[in-house]
Amino acid sequence: MSTTNSNQQKKTAVVICPGRGTYNKEELGYLQRLHADKPELINVIDDYRQQHGQDSISDLDAMAKYSMRKHTAGENASALIYACAMADYQSINQDEYDIVAVTGNSMGWYIALAVAGALKPKAAIELINTMGSMMTDGVIGGQLIYPISDDDWRENSAVFKQIKLWLDDVNQDPVSEVYISIHLGGYLVFGGNKQGLAALEAKLPVVQDRYPMNLFNHGAFHTPLLKDTANKAKSMLAKSLFSNPDIPLIDGLGQIWQPHSTDLGKLYDYTLDTQVVAPYNFTKAIEVAVKEFAPDKLIILGPGSTLGGAVAQSLIKQQWLELTCKSDFISLQKSEPFILAMGLADQRKQVVN
């Protein structure tokens, strides 16, 4: 096929990087199964971790049994998820897909920086491993997740307003601190201290027999409780780790960082300060991705496929592609999938070489 024809047939895609909580029992062995052909990427990560006295991701991925305590610990989960996601990105058939922008959810922002080239391989594992290891000596606060959409995946503004009132109420107590941590499509993730989370949990009606749900081994990310963590990160990580991105980046405020106009000092401050202590608006990032770049596809990197629902709910909120509810989205995915999650075998086949 000639280059011209190939370019004409390329589909545009925005790549979405996953955050914490995506390497679960089902993902054990992900690197071995799918990425044995990428020793260069994995060796850079393993070498760095071995120098710091940590388990290699190769060993963690090859364990006979999944361990909640070991595999979800920040210092292990972050490196594992980064390796899986970056390896997936390298597997995308770039003769078929033109990657026009990259975004991510929460820790996925760090992975997005690596995917876009704003962090080169050694810089990427240094930053991701350092941030992931910040709570080795004890997790600061916690997180819980709660839906703000109905069964049709339409956001319920009344529920959102009521939750904000409850948040204000809980924070009246001087011992309680709880904040919105992530806007995640049809969900809100809250971060806070034990007292604040317990008080909010007591107010939130139980829905679907599972929410409000506490997220195991997660700290109070994207809240003011992590101010000391942000300060520590800046003392440990140099601005020189950052490079100009090769691909536009969409952050958790919906800002676009363009390859030729990125101020690296501001990118450093956003990454190690702003998004550490302020809410991460993944819903907004998806809105900007579709409205500013109008891609043919959204490609969600593995491991896992848990982000698909939140992305779909974000699209429904914007009525993108005339999507108004869950059944619209399911119909679209069956006929001409707009979201391709690499953690799902059938969708993966549409993305890789």
Distance CA 210, CA 217 (A): 18
Q: Tell me: the pLDDT tens digits for 261-301?
A: 999 999 999 999 999 999 999 999 999 999 999 999 999 99
Distance CA 279, CA 307 (A): 18
Asked if 102 contacts 15 with a C-beta cutoff of 8 angstroms, the reply is: yes
Distance CA 56, CA 80 (A): 9
pLDDT, position 2: 40
Percent of the chain scoring above 70 in pLDDT: 98
pLDDT, position 175: 97
pLDDT, position 8: 61
The long-range contacts involving 40-45, CB below 8 angstroms and separated by at least 24 positions, are 41/83, 41/86, 41/87, 41/90, 41/121, 42/83, 42/87, 44/121, 44/122, 44/125, 45/79, 45/82, 45/83, 45/125
Start-to-end Cα distance in the chain: 15
Beta strands in 105-162 (DSSP E): 142-147
pLDDT, position 4: 40
Q: Delineate the domains of the chain, giving CATH numbers in brackets.
A: 3-137+232-269+291-306+334-348 (3.40.366.10)
pLDDT, position 248: 98
Residues in the chain with pLDDT values less than 70 = 1-8
**φ and ψ of 211, to 5 deg:** -115, 145
pLDDT, position 1: 39
